[in-house]
Chains A and B, each alone.
Chain A
Amino acid sequence: MEDAARLLQLVVNGAAAGCIYGLIALGFVLIYKATEMINFAQGDIMMLGGFFAFALIAHFGLNYWVGALIAILLTAAFGFALDAVVLRRVIGQPQFAVVMLTLGLGFIFRAAAGITWGYDSVGFNTPFTNRTINLHGLILGQDNVSIIVGTVLLCGVLYLFFSHTRLGVAMQASSQNQLAAYYMGIPVRTVFSLIWAISAGVAAVAGILLSPVSMIDVNMGFLGIKAFAAAVLGGFGSIPGALVGGVVIGIVEQLAGYFLPAGFQEVTSNVVLLATLILRPQGLFAEIAGKRV
């Protein structure tokens, strides 16, 4: 009974961590589906979102929900501006160039955050900090549960948005064929910027949800690398896949830390990543495409 409880605990922790990976991965996938760019700075945008929330809630004293919402909107606007000002200029350049560009941007974001808020970890009060839920004798941290619940809600909203609104369908069209979308009257560049905005907003949600569990600091963007593994595992073109991938990795990591000798937990996500790429590159939810010549 003891072991079962501990295992369940691990699974929940893993699922919560996995949801964060999944949310960052979601941001990756959204941008990739649209523009085929990989945003190496996605983790750092999450970091910025977290800092925005910190500034609004802890510094300016706003209510948690109000502050969180404003932070999300701020980050979304930041994402929009980022695409409009910087990334639009590199459409058409080889993919490699864009990867390096976002890497460089990540560096800049970290430095800017460091200058503004310092290099220490900070946190702010949330309704979920240090509270627990009692489920039939199983004690779960409310922070972890909030992550899982929040992620599920967000994904539901996004799903409805993409499949049932005009803008969502326009986004799908632009992601498949830019030129044709232009001909159809879709303002492709604006649509892409909006996709970046959504992606940044999702990252901000991740940062805000994460803050009660692990504080906000300049290097928290390095979770982005694990989010990669999540996106690949899920299949890079698939939105539900990103989430599933994240949760799987989160849980596997926790179990690895428990069952395997010390030091193996670190490499878990990378091993999963490599294994997926080698054995089943299309991920769990495949989106295969081949070129007709």
Chain B
Amino acid sequence: MSLFRAEDIAIRFGGIRAVDAVSFAVNQGEVFSIIGPNGAGKTTIFNLISRIYNPTDGRLFFQDHDITAVPPYRIAGLGIARTFQNIELFANATLLQNLLIGRHCHSTVGVLSQVIFTPAVRRAELKHREKAEEVIAFLGLERYRDTLIANLPYGVRKVVELGRALCVEPKLLLLDEPSSGLNVEETEGMGFWIEDIKKDLGITVIMVEHDMNLVRMVSDRVMALNYGKVIALGTPDEVQNHPEVVRAYIGGEA
């Protein structure tokens, strides 16, 4: 049984078919990478999955439930979290507050109790704080806990994006170009974290990535896109040597 399934998903912006009849399935516990040249529609697929865009065709299934029409604010509650390609953190809040906002979908206290801050609310706060601290420890962000995001360097912000997504305690994690803007060491670190996320936390990961080293290091399966269509799907080796993929990236003979 696959954790997530896209069936013939498609979206058009005017005349442009950004995503064209894409189908794939992601199994529980695997790391699934989506590669392709710029403009191939990779981030658009993420936006479709997190329901920021509405597909013009096709359906999406998460744990065999049809989520094609689910509003975007329900996705986190279902267990899908994502990071953004261009960092979309809350710039005027501290790192800790960002992570705590990531816990929002697990909040059970009502409005009135929050306004008067009942002991139940306090207990809930402490519990969320503990969970956020687990993520901070996992990612090594202790020294930045109370720093405003606006004051953090880019590499750290990338990690905070990851941390915020982890705070959702997702079953499915969508990583949008986790290594963009990171140097070689930071990218390796990111790779180790993704492995830990898969092995220790048991989270399924779908990753959009350009860095082929990272892709080969962590992925179980890879899907290549070009112009919104799937051109290859298989293990990293299979896809990398696929003639269509080579042609898309490097170009073929005239």
A and B touch in their complex, CB below 8 angstroms = yes
Show the binding face of A for B, using Cβ within 8 Å. Answer: 292-293
Q: How far is the CA of A293 from the CA of B86 in the complex (A)?
A: 7
How close is B49's CB to chain A, nearest CB, in angstroms?
13
Top 5 closest pairs, chain A to chain B, by CB: A293-B84, A293-B88, A293-B86, A293-B47, A293-B85
Chain B interface residues toward A at CB < 8 A: 43, 47, 52, 84-86, 88
A293–B51 Cα distance when bound, in Å, is 12
CB closest chain-A residue, reference B84:
A293
Give the chain B neighbours of A293 by CB distance below 8 A.
43, 47, 52, 84-86, 88
Q: In the complex, A292→B88 CA distance in Å?
A: 11
Besides A292-B43, A293-B86, A293-B88, 5 more A-B contacts (Cβ < 8 Å) are A293-B43, A293-B47, A293-B52, A293-B84, A293-B85
Q: A292–B86 Cα gap in the complex (Å)?
A: 9
A-B contact pairs, 8 of them (CB 8 A): A292-B43, A293-B43, A293-B47, A293-B52, A293-B84, A293-B85, A293-B86, A293-B88
Q: How far is the CB of A290 from chain B (nearest CB, A)?
A: 9
Which residues of the partner chain A approach B86 to less than 8 Å between Cβ atoms?
Answer: 293
- Which of chain A's residues has its CB closest to B13's CB? A290
Q: Which residues of A contact B85 (CB under 8 A)?
A: 293
Docked Cα-Cα span, A266 to B145, in Å, equals 54
How distant is the Cα of A209 from the Cα of B149 in the complex, in angstroms?
A: 52
Q: How far is the CB of A291 from chain B (nearest CB, A)?
A: 9
| Chain B residues positioned under 8 Å from A292 (CB to CB) | 43
Residue of B nearest to A94 (CB): B92
A237 → B minimal CB distance (Å): 19
Within the assembled complex, what's the spacing in Å between the Cα atoms of A293 and B53?
A: 11
B181 to chain A, nearest CB (A): 16
Given the complex of chains A and B, what is the CA–CA distance between A273 and B137 in angstroms? 52
**Closest partner residue, chain A, to B85 (CB atom):** A293
Give bound CA distance, A292 to B53, whole Å.
Answer: 11
Rounded to whole angstroms, the CA-CA distance of A93 and B47 in the bound complex is 30
- A293 CA to B84 CA in the complex, in Å? 7
Please name all residues of chain A whose beta carbon is closer than 8 Å to the beta carbon of B88 when the two chains form the complex: 293
Complex: how many Å from CA A109 to CA B73?
47
Residues in A whose Cβ lies below 8 Å from that of B43: 292-293
- Alpha-carbon distance A292/B52, docked complex (angstroms): 10
The smallest beta-carbon distance between A258 and chain B, in angstroms, is 44
Contacts of B47 in A (CB 8 A): 293
| Nearest-CB residue, chain A, relative to B176 | A293
Query: In whole Å, how far is B53's beta carbon from the nearest beta carbon of chain A?
Result: 10
Q: Please give me the residue from chain B that is nearest to A292 by CB atom.
A: B43
* Cβ contacts under 8 Å, B52 to chain A: 293
B73 nearest CB across to chain A (Å): 15
Cα(A292)–Cα(B47), bound, Å: 9
Q: Report B148 CB to chain A, min CB distance, Å.
A: 15
A292 to chain B, nearest CB (A): 8
A293 to B88, CA, bound (A): 8
Nearest neighbor of A293 in chain B, beta-carbon distance = B84
Q: How far is the CA of A129 from the CA of B102 in the complex (A)?
A: 67
- Tell me the minimal C-beta distance from A54 to chain B in angstroms: 47
In the complex, A293 Cα to B208 Cα: how many Å? 13
Cα A293 to Cα B42 with chains together (Å): 11
A293 CA / B47 CA spacing, docked (Å)? 8
The distance in angstroms between the C-alpha atoms of A108 and B136, with both chains bound, is 51
B167 to chain A, nearest CB (A): 19
Docked pose: A292 CA to B84 CA in angstroms? 10
CB distance from B138 to the nearest CB of A (A): 25
Contacts of B84 in A (CB 8 A): 293
Taking the closest CB of chain A, its distance from the CB of B175, in whole angstroms, is 14
